[in-house]
């Protein structure tokens, strides 16, 4: 007896559907006769969404930075985990067992970096029909997404025909003349597209000026070790973190230039990395010099403290300086259209 | 102001995309945020919506009326139950003309595979119930409850429809095997305690 052909063929890729920070099940894509089946598998339940080839309007593929961020975070953790047993060996004469354990943990994070790098750049893919726009989490790697899109495009083209660039250009005027999509499509008739929110950049400004002030404090701290300076530094750090967090929230889906947005993220990465290194080294110093607070130690006697202070000051000035320049530029550009008659 | 073409926006910043960026086969940077994206656009995007007909015309003498709207003219027949339908009641699904009631019934009874949007995977349930307590080691003592439960689910739902994507009964078989082994283990343990 002839075996019945399978109704669905699996497409490459498997992803996690994420809601907030929690996983809402694994997802995969399956190719049917006339539709694409999106399967979301959570515990004992499978949820299906069908996208008929004749209804698919567009597919958007975007390169993301998730892979780079994973590499950065895991690389940093690996570096710290490798450095910790090394410091243990140097300062507390740890035996080989400590080194091996540290090495294993560091190796694990390094392995994540290697595997993640080998898997290639990350991507985000969205499929659009007339009534919905669906994220396809299983296409989270660029090479895999392109492979799947080639298959899908062939099927959709076979169902709908091919829309050439010339057709897009020629149809553009007709569509716009008919009142964009509003004339025929009740779902799009609501009005003009949503404009991007204007960003309240005061928190960005505060964060950047705090960074510059912190740079000045760090330079002073190299020459003068004072409890008042320590207290001011702590307040500045707290204020900076508050402003940075608020700025990160405020800049989402705003008209702020991408350079300034990236700079805010860079500030976060720098702050987190510096705090981890400073706290780690602070613990080592506290164990080495019982009874003395880390900041009371002169950087001229401890080259690591000197290096950390200098790196911190350079980062503060470079990020703060660039940020203030970009912010002023953004403010000038925002004000320019208002000045025109 | 940029006119919206196809209502397609940059997936990151929401800026309307240029038509020249569509179907190029390459990644194009967004003019606003610089995010690199590839846009594939298909002819369906040019399709205009047709508002559903409100049930064409009032019936004239000797014309058939809709089963659900006696004042409306019938335009087609339900291919499942055979009742006459007006344009409003006619639902075209999978190249078939059906009435809303048949669709509702078909969905409820699981006869219309194309309308199913969720299924419970009993094979997964049985297998996890048989395996997880053993794999987690400390929960191994619970197997005296979980193994019979796994066996019950595997037998009770042997014929229940599984995943729509077509999976074999392998998980069910494996669940029965593991659950049976665990039950046998408990029986042997009881016998050993009874004899010693």
| Domain chopping of chain A, boundaries | 9-64+125-160, 66-118, 202-339
Nearest to B133 by CA among B188, B173, B178: B178
Does the CB of A258 have a partner CB in chain B at under 8 Å? yes
Report pLDDT for B58.
60
Residue A55 near residue A69, CB atoms below 8 Å:
no
B191 with B129, same domain: the answer is yes
pLDDT number for residue A292: 60
What percent of chain A is helix, strand and coil (3-state, nearest 5)? 60, 15, 25
- Dist CA B38 CA A58 (whole Å): 10
In this structure, are B109 and B134 located in the same domain?
A: no
**pLDDT for position A245:** 86
Same domain, B35 and B80: no
Neighbouring C-beta atoms of residue A153, cutoff 10 Å: 17
pLDDT at A181: 42
For residue A156, which residues of chain B lie inside 8 Å, CB to CB? 42
Q: Say what the pLDDT of residue A189 is.
A: 39
**Residues paired with A62 in a beta bridge:** A124, B37
Partners of B22 on chain A (C-beta within 8 Å) are 58, 165, 168
How many C-beta atoms lie closer than 10 Å to residue A85's C-beta? 22
pLDDT value of position A221: 84
Range of the domain at B68: 52-116
Q: How far is CA B139 from the centre of its chain?
A: 34
| Residue linked to tokens 């899109």 | A149
What is the DSSP track for A110-146? HHHHHHHHHT--BEEEEEE-SS-EEE-TT--BHHHHH
CB A252 within 8 A of CB A290: no
Percent of chain B with pLDDT over 90: 21
A66 part of contact set with chain B, CB < 8 Å: no
Residues B150 and B104 in one domain: no
Write down which residue in B116, B141, B167 finishes a domain.
Answer: B116
Alpha-carbon Rg for chain B, nearest whole angstrom, is: 29
pLDDT of B107 reads: 74
The low-confidence residues of chain A, meaning pLDDT below 50, are 176-194, 338-341
Co-location of B74 and B43 in the same domain: no
Tell me the mean pLDDT in the region B68-77: 84
Q: How many A/B residue pairs have CB atoms within 8 Å?
A: 155
**Which pLDDT score, from 0 to 100, does residue B51 have?**
57
pLDDT exceeds 90 at position B149: yes
- What is the mean pLDDT of the segment spanning B120-128? 91
Over residues B132-160, the mean pLDDT reads 88
Q: Are residues B59 and B38 in the same domain?
A: no
Query: Does A166 touch chain B if contact means CB atoms closer than 8 Å?
Result: no
Contacts of A258 in chain B (CB under 8 A): 13, 32-34
Q: Which among B116, B143, B166 is the end of a domain?
A: B116
Same domain, B59 and B14: no
**What's CA B184's distance to the chain center, in Å?**
38
How is residue A63 annotated by DSSP? E
Provide the pLDDT for residue A114: 93
CA distance B135 to B153: 20
In this structure, CATH architecture of domain A9-64+125-160: Roll (2.30)
What pLDDT score does B48 carry?
67
Q: Is A45 on the interface with B (CB under 8 A)?
A: yes
Mean pLDDT, residues B41-70: 70
> Would you call A187 an interface residue with chain B, using a CB distance cutoff of 8 Å?
yes
pLDDT in tens, A119-153: 989 999 999 888 888 889 999 999 999 999 999 99
For the segment B1-49, what is each residue's pLDDT rounded down to a tens digit?
333 445 677 877 777 777 777 888 788 888 777 888 888 888 888 776 6
What pLDDT shows up at residue A93?
Answer: 65
> How many domains does chain B fold into?
3
Prediction ipTM score: 0.76
Last residue of a domain, one of B116, B138, B168: B116
Rounded CA gap, A36 and A159, in Å?
Answer: 12
pLDDT at site A197 = 65
- Cβ contact (<8 Å) for B43 and A192? no
């Amino acid at each position: 007896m002839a075996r019945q052909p399978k109704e669905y063929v699996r497409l490459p890729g498997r992803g996690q559907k994420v809601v907030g920070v929690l996983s809402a099940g694994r997802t995969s894509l399956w190719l049917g006769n006339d539709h694409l089946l999106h399967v979301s598998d959570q515990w004992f339940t499978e949820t299906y969404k069908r996208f008929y080839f004749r209804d698919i309007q567009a597919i958007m593929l975007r390169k993301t930075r998730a892979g780079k961020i994973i590499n950065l975070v895991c690389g940093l953790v690996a570096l710290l985990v490798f450095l910790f047993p090394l410091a243990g060996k140097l300062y507390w004469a740890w035996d080989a067992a400590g080194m091996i354990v540290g090495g294993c943990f560091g190796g694990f994070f390094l392995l994540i970096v290697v595997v993640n790098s080998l898997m290639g750049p990350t991507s985000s893919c969205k499929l659009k029909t007339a009534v919905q726009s669906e994220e396809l989490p299983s296409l989270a790697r660029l090479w895999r997404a392109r492979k799947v899109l080639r298959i899908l495009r062939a099927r959709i083209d076979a169902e709908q025909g091919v829309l050439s660039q010339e057709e897009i250009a020629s149809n553009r005027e007709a569509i716009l003349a008919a009142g964009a999509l509003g004339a025929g499509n009740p779902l799009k008739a609501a009005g003009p597209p949503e404009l991007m929110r204007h960003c309240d950049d005061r928190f960005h400004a505060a964060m950047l000026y705090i960074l510059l002030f912190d740079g000045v404090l760090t330079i002073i701290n190299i020459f003068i070790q004072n409890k008042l300076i320590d207290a001011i530094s702590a307040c500045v750090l707290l204020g900076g973190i508050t402003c940075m967090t608020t700025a990160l929230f405020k800049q989402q889906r705003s008209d702020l230039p991408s350079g300034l947005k990236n700079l805010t993220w860079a500030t976060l990465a720098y702050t987190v990395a510096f705090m981890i290194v400073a706290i780690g080294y602070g613990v080592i110093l506290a164990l080495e010099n019982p009874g003395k607070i880390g900041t009371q130690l002169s950087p001229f006697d401890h080259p690591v403290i000197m290096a950390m202070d200098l790196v911190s000051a350079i980062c503060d000035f470079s990020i703060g300086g660039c940020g203030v320049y970009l912010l002023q530029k953004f403010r000038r550009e925002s004000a320019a259209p208002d000045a025109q008659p | 102001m940029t006119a919206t073409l196809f209502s397609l926006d940059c997936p990151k910043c929401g800026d309307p995309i240029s038509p020249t960026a569509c179907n190029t086969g390459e990644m194009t940077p967004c003019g606003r945020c610089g995010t690199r994206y590839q846009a594939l656009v298909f002819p369906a995007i040019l399709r205009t919506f047709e508002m559903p007909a409100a049930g064409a015309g009032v019936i004239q003498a000797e014309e058939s009326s809709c089963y659900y709207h006696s004042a409306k003219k019938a335009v087609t027949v339900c291919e499942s139950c055979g009742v006459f339908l007006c344009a409003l009641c006619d639902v075209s699904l999978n190249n078939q003309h059906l009435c809303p009631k048949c669709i509702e019934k078909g969905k409820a009874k699981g006869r219309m595979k194309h309308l199913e949007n969720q299924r419970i995977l009993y094979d997964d349930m049985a297998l996890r119930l048989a395996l997880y307590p053993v794999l987690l080691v400390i929960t191994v003592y619970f197997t005296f409850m979980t193994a019979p439960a796994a066996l019950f689910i595997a037998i009770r739902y042997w014929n229940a429809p599984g995943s729509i994507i077509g999976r074999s009964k392998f998980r069910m078989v494996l669940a029965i095997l593991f659950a049976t082994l665990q039950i046998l283990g408990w029986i042997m343990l009881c016998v050993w305690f009874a004899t010693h």
